[in-house]
Structure 1
Amino acid sequence: MSKLSLQALNRATLHRQWLIERHDATALEAIEHLVGMQAQSPLAPYVGLWTRLNGFDPAELARLIEDREAVRGSMMRATIHLMSSRDFLAFRPLIQPRLEREVFQNMTYGRHRLEGIDIDAVLKAGAERMAEGPATAVQLREHLAPLWPDREPPALAHAVRCLLPTIQTPPRGIWGKGGNPAMSTADLWLGAPVDPNPSADDLVRRYLGAYGPASVADAQNWSGLTRLSEVFDRLDLRTYTDAESGRTLYDLPHIDLPDEDIEVPTRFLPEYDNLLLSHADRTRWIDTATRQSLTLQEVLTRGSTLHNGQATALWKLTKSTKTQATLEIQPITKLPRSTRTDIEAEATTLLTFTSPTATHEIRFIS
């Protein structure tokens, strides 16, 4: 098996993540290529698409959500993901085991709080409430509480959110709008049930196409699923060896890797971007010194700046009005002047995207 250096892995995944060159593609094509985008921060996917696409217009994604071609719902790792509607219907059943663990092993909402309850009756009651119209968590609790007065309403509503294929309906997730999350179900919102025969083989192939080369553990970390080695074993895949750790890495046989010395541009990623979440071993993005100085939570809950393919700074839009927008950049490694210049240039482009009519200010903070 060919050995791949960390640099080679970095460049290979950046290439298929569309982070070396912005692509001429639609937002829907990008969302499907990435097998969804984490969207617990509702507007993060807009930045994630801007950094990957030429000429991306936020209105394009807003239309997809309003027209029900794309949805936001509980998916990989039991977190909210923006998916194309067809991918949500195709892959949501595969993620059910992870969502069941989220319910029944959750220290806050699960464990003994649901012990002995007729969970099917709870889900039926939740579905009946959403059939009346999209319901917020509070509205679900108010509906379920009198039916099970001896149980905690938040635990009941959490079970409905996770165990049914729920979708967060607009205006949540619409650029320039907001509001509390309101939920419907796939069959109510999309007029179609989830796929009764979902393909784990297709899910793994799609993962490798967007995040490979990768190990079985990487795919399991991305999806939140277990026992994926059975799927990898039956697929026709190319194998490599991680030169650093000796791990076996898998890839689709038809994909050629880019030159590991290819130059890569500075890119701004939104908080919780799946690029940084979708491998068990994240050394291709974050070097040892950085991992030791920051917690993963610190890196993921703010935007990340990639320079030369590595996470080198965190960013946050601290002020955003029609007249003033301020972007703070916190280096997490020592930045040479040339690197700061590159980051500032891309930050200006980001501010032009997020706040086109405002006066822009970029601050480097310690």
Structure 2
Amino acid sequence: MLTLRELNRATLARQHLLRRHQGGVAAVVHRLAGLQAQEPRPPYLGLWTRLDGFARDDLHAALRARTLVRATMMRATLHLVTAADFAEFRPLLQPLLAAAARRFPEVDFAAVAVAAERLLAEGPHTFNELRPRLEREFPGAYDRALGYAVRMTVPLIMVPTEDRWSFPRDSAFALPGIELAAEPDIGTLVERYLAAFGPATAADMQTWSGLSGFKAVLNGMRDRLEVLVDERGRELFDLPEAPRPEGDAPAPVRFLPDFDNLMLGHADRSRVLAEEHRGEVVTKNLRVRATYLVDGFVAGTWQIRRTGKKAKLLLTPFTPVPTEALEEEAMALLAFAEPDAEARSLEVMGS
């Protein structure tokens, strides 16, 4: 039986939050099965906290080379993934994306996709550029519906620029130039998820991916997976050789960005986030706040406040933790996030 702390440590080990990964940026993104990238900055901070010696230029170079791409993927949201995972996973996610597009039943999605692909064959376009051209071809259609149809039905990648976090607010999209897998394997997706987030339930996999039907898939994979039970008697699936440290394994202080994978990878987040604090992390408008971990569990949220040349990291604790226990990691994060600040400081709210 897996205790809550053992489940916590297993997940942190796979998320490279017990020990930073020694290797390249593409390798760690592959091991994580992608990073949520709804906004440009969080993937940089998520990699900084997981990858030893990570530098901003490492990710920027990988994006320019298209070793890594930012694209609509799991849960119909933007993710940072390897080009190989984009090719393998995007076809598996297509039913989810097509279903999301049905919120606008008046749109002929097939026709819009053909038109968009023709326009994008000319070169990258922002959606502010693309929508008016689509409106001319589909008069009377709601422009936002046309844009949404393209996002959900046409495989696209975002084009990086020289911006600090690689993408401006109004980013251009392009055809990926990546051949999608003709016969993608759902079993591969399951194994990659478990390697990054396991041990886990079928509901956890559904929450992470947005896809359904994992109970049947997992039952068909029982001969190659390990089946475990947690303290509540729930059946958890895992890879036989995956790391599962002891529950008392040391877990250093870690700072996670907004929308981090760790907060979005499971239906039951209690392995890292106590239920009584969930509402303080996930807001009513579905924003997922930046958090910090103490002894492996979410101990509070954080934000950066920039005023001129001064940068301050503000901590909002859920449980009291001595400031000196957080200071080294917090100030290192602030130095990475705000390298041009002339003065940096740490403030604990309510103290």
Per the alignment, residue 159 of structure 1 pairs with 149
Per the alignment, residue 192 of structure 2 pairs with 206
Per the alignment, residue 140 of structure 2 pairs with 150
Q: Does 1:238 align with 2:230?
A: no
Q: Does 1:129 align with 2:115?
A: no
Per the alignment, residue 50 of structure 1 pairs with 48
Q: Please give the alpha-carbon distance, in whole angstroms, between the structure 1 residues aligned to 2:277 and 2:180.
A: 41
Q: Please give the alpha-carbon distance, in whole angstroms, between the structure 2 residues aligned to 1:181 and 1:306.
A: 32
Q: Please give the alpha-carbon distance, in whole angstroms, between the structure 2 residues aligned to 1:197 and 1:343.
A: 47
- 2:60–2:166 CA contact under 8 A, matched in 1: no
Q: Does 1:264 align with 2:254?
A: no
SS in 2 for 1:160: helix
Q: Please give the alpha-carbon distance, in whole angstroms, between the structure 1 residues aligned to 2:149 and 2:7.
A: 39
Per the alignment, residue 262 of structure 2 pairs with 275
Q: Please give the alpha-carbon distance, in whole angstroms, between the structure 2 residues aligned to 1:69 and 1:354.
A: 23
Aligned length: 346
Q: Please give the alpha-carbon distance, in whole angstroms, between the structure 2 residues aligned to 1:336 and 1:33.
A: 31
Residues 25/93 of structure 1: CA separation in 2 closer, same or farther (3 Å cut):
same
SS in 2 for 1:294: helix
SS in 2 for 1:48: helix
Q: Please give the alpha-carbon distance, in whole angstroms, between the structure 1 residues aligned to 2:185 and 2:168.
A: 35
Question: Which residue, out of 340, 344, 347, partners 1:363?
Answer: 347
SS in 2 for 1:261: coil
Q: Please give the alpha-carbon distance, in whole angstroms, between the structure 2 residues aligned to 1:16 and 1:251.
A: 12
Q: Structure 1, unaligned stretches of length 5 or more?
A: none
- 2:14–2:243 CA contact under 8 A, matched in 1: no
Compute the displacement of 1:174 (Å).
5.4
**1:297-323 Cα deviation digits (max 9, x unpaired):** 3795321111111111111112176x3
Q: Please give the alpha-carbon distance, in whole angstroms, between the structure 1 residues aligned to 2:307 and 2:219.
A: 49
Q: Please give the alpha-carbon distance, in whole angstroms, between the structure 1 residues aligned to 2:166 and 2:132.
A: 29
Q: Does 1:342 align with 2:336?
A: no
Task: Please give the TM-score of this superposition, normalised by the length of structure 1.
Answer: 0.90
**1:91-123 Cα deviation digits (max 9, x unpaired):** 111111111122113xxxx2x432xx3x22111
Q: Does 1:139 align with 2:129?
A: yes
Question: Which residue, out of 77, 102, 105, partners 1:104?
Answer: 102
Look up the equivalent residue of 1:160 and give its one-letter code.
V
SS in 2 for 1:290: helix
Identity %: 37
Residues 40/233 of structure 1: CA separation in 2 closer, same or farther (3 Å cut):
same
Look up the equivalent residue of 1:175 and give its one-letter code.
W
Compute the displacement of 1:150 (Å).
2.1
Q: Please give the alpha-carbon distance, in whole angstroms, between the structure 2 residues aligned to 1:148 and 1:30.
A: 43
SS in 2 for 1:97: helix
**1:246-295 Cα deviation digits (max 9, x unpaired):** 2100000122411111110000001101111010011111113223x536
Q: Structure 2, unaligned stretches of length 5 or more?
A: none
Residues 357/121 of structure 1: CA separation in 2 closer, same or farther (3 Å cut):
closer
Q: Please give the alpha-carbon distance, in whole angstroms, between the structure 2 residues aligned to 1:297 and 1:62.
A: 30
Per the alignment, residue 113 of structure 1 pairs with 106
Q: Please give the alpha-carbon distance, in whole angstroms, between the structure 2 residues aligned to 1:20 and 1:295.
A: 22
Per the alignment, residue 310 of structure 2 pairs with 324
- 1:265–1:308 CA contact under 8 A, matched in 2: yes
Residues 173/201 of structure 1: CA separation in 2 closer, same or farther (3 Å cut):
farther
Aligned structure 1 segments of 4 or more residues deviating by more than 4 angstroms: none
- 1:320–1:355 CA contact under 8 A, matched in 2: no
Q: Please give the alpha-carbon distance, in whole angstroms, between the structure 2 residues aligned to 1:43 and 1:347.
A: 17
Q: Please give the alpha-carbon distance, in whole angstroms, between the structure 2 residues aligned to 1:48 and 1:56.
A: 10
- 1:168–1:181 CA contact under 8 A, matched in 2: yes
C-alpha RMSD of matched pairs (Å): 1.8
